[in-house]
Amino acid sequence: MTTVLDRDDAPVAEAPRTFIPTRRSDDDVPLPRTSLGVLPLENRFLTWGARVAALGLAWVIVDRLLPVHGLGWFVVIALLCNVVLLGVGTLTIDSPIAMTDRVVQWVVSTAATVVFLALLTVLFFIFKRGWAALHYWNFVTQTMHQTLPDAPYNQGGVLNSIVGTLIEIGIAVAITLPLGVATAVYMNEVGGGFARMIRTVVEAMTALPSIVAGLFIYSFWIILLHEPRSGFAGALAISVMMLPIIARASDVVLRVVPGSLREASLGLGASRWRTIWHVVLPTARPGLATALILAVARGIGETSPVLIASGYATFMVTHPFHGVMSSLPLSVYNSVIAPEPQAVTRGYATAAVLMILVLTLFVIARLLAREPSPKPSLWRRIRRSFSPVRRPAAATSALPSIMTEESE
């Protein structure tokens, strides 16, 4: 800070000047952080060395020091030893920031691995317990109408439950998808006090117990309106469970649509509803498909609502308004509680079929909602390679005159 003199020769403090740092030279570049991207050789050696040392240290602690033994304790102690050794080793060869990055990366990777292994364990357990009945083709082509619970596995099946599940979930999707997306559009695009109240109700209904949804449809549709128990009543109960999930997830998806797209559409003269239909919803299509998948995964596995509203039958029912209609969750429940071992095995096989059905619906929804690729498909490239080359009409019509001029 420097001083200057005013007109009366009194010293006046001058404001501090802004300091501009000098420009770095080409050689003065920051060193890359070793904890990001591809790790160097010493960090990779440290990672695997920490893993091997953690296994040995965990064996010593569990087998020699702790009074408890077991595989679970060994895994937990090995994970804790691994993260401690990895953090200490990284701190000795790198900065504390790099140590934090490595430890957080290890925690996140371990959490993802645990979730993946848990999913694989569930799949392996279900398919292993139900493989004795699942590998027979009649399990998905026949019903249990004339088959006893202790019959051999090459007799009977769950075709009626598969058809009933598809009918009920189809009706539920036809009801909840337009209602849920319309609710999300109202909460996001219209707004206001009533929209805030609707958002609160939707968030509260997300945690609604499934048995309450079944009792509501049973009281309203069966007792009040005197309608019989049917597949449509079960679809209504499933719709009550799916609607808040679609509305809530769609609301979150529509919020992340850039506002510049809306402004551009409105600036070009489009109305608000035309902007929503042609700009907002197509942009959010992959997210809306994810919302539908989450809702279908929740509704297709519900047992208590369809047990109250729809009922269970061992024969084929295709009309949703007449007669009770079975579903895969009800077949699993009725088979597992049976005392016969064959019925329990069929229950696990039915659960495997339910998981395959959910995975199939997930793949179909993702294929329908994915963005169109600008590259031509493989089949189109193959057809183009075998098709003859066609010249433009203008160029083809000009060829005779050009040939005539050349000949002259």
Separation between Cα atoms, residue 183 and residue 25, nearest integer Å = 58
Query: Considering the domain boundaries, does residue 87 fall inside one?
Result: yes
Runs of H (alpha helix) within 61-95: 71-93
321 shares a domain with 197 = yes
Q: Are 354 and 328 in contact (CB under 8 A)?
A: yes
Query: Considering the domain boundaries, does residue 148 fall inside one?
Result: no
312 shares a domain with 261 = yes
Close Cβ partners of 127 (under 8 Å, ≥ 6 residues apart): 134, 352
What is the pLDDT at residue 99? Answer: 86
Q: 297: domain range?
A: 159-369
Structural domain count of the chain: 2
Residue 5 CB-half CA count within 13 A: 3
Averaged over 366-393, what is the pLDDT? 62
164 shares a domain with 122 = no
> pLDDT tens digits, residue range 28-71?
555 555 545 566 777 778 888 888 898 898 888 888 887 777 88
pTM for this predicted structure: 0.72
Query: Considering the domain boundaries, does residue 46 fall inside one?
Result: yes
Amino acid at 60: V
229 shares a domain with 85 = no
167 shares a domain with 119 = no
Separation between Cα atoms, residue 359 and residue 352, nearest integer Å = 11
Query: Considering the domain boundaries, does residue 254 fall inside one?
Result: yes
Comparing 100-109, 243-252, 369-378, the range with the smallest average pLDDT is: 369-378
> pLDDT tens digits, residue range 381-407?
666 666 655 544 444 444 444 444 444
Query: Considering the domain boundaries, does residue 326 fall inside one?
Result: yes
> pLDDT tens digits, residue range 124-133?
999 999 998 8
168 shares a domain with 108 = no
> Exposed, middle or buried: residue 79 (CB in 10 Å: 0-12, 13-18, 19+)?
middle
332 shares a domain with 236 = yes
- Residue 180 — very low, low, confident or very high, per pLDDT cuts 50/70/90? very high
Q: Are 141 and 157 in contact (CB under 8 A)?
A: yes
181 shares a domain with 66 = no
> pLDDT tens digits, residue range 288-314?
888 888 899 888 888 888 889 888 888
212 shares a domain with 340 = yes
182 shares a domain with 46 = no
Average pLDDT of every residue of the chain: 81
106 shares a domain with 181 = no
Query: Any idea what the CATH number is for the domain that residue 304 is in?
Result: 1.10.3720.10
Separation between Cα atoms, residue 130 and residue 350, nearest integer Å = 8
Query: What is the separation of C-alpha 53 from the centre of its chain, rounded to a whole number of angstroms?
Result: 37
231 shares a domain with 113 = no
Query: Considering the domain boundaries, does residue 227 fall inside one?
Result: yes
Query: Considering the domain boundaries, does residue 119 fall inside one?
Result: yes
Separation between Cα atoms, residue 7 and residue 9, nearest integer Å = 5
Query: Considering the domain boundaries, does residue 110 fall inside one?
Result: yes
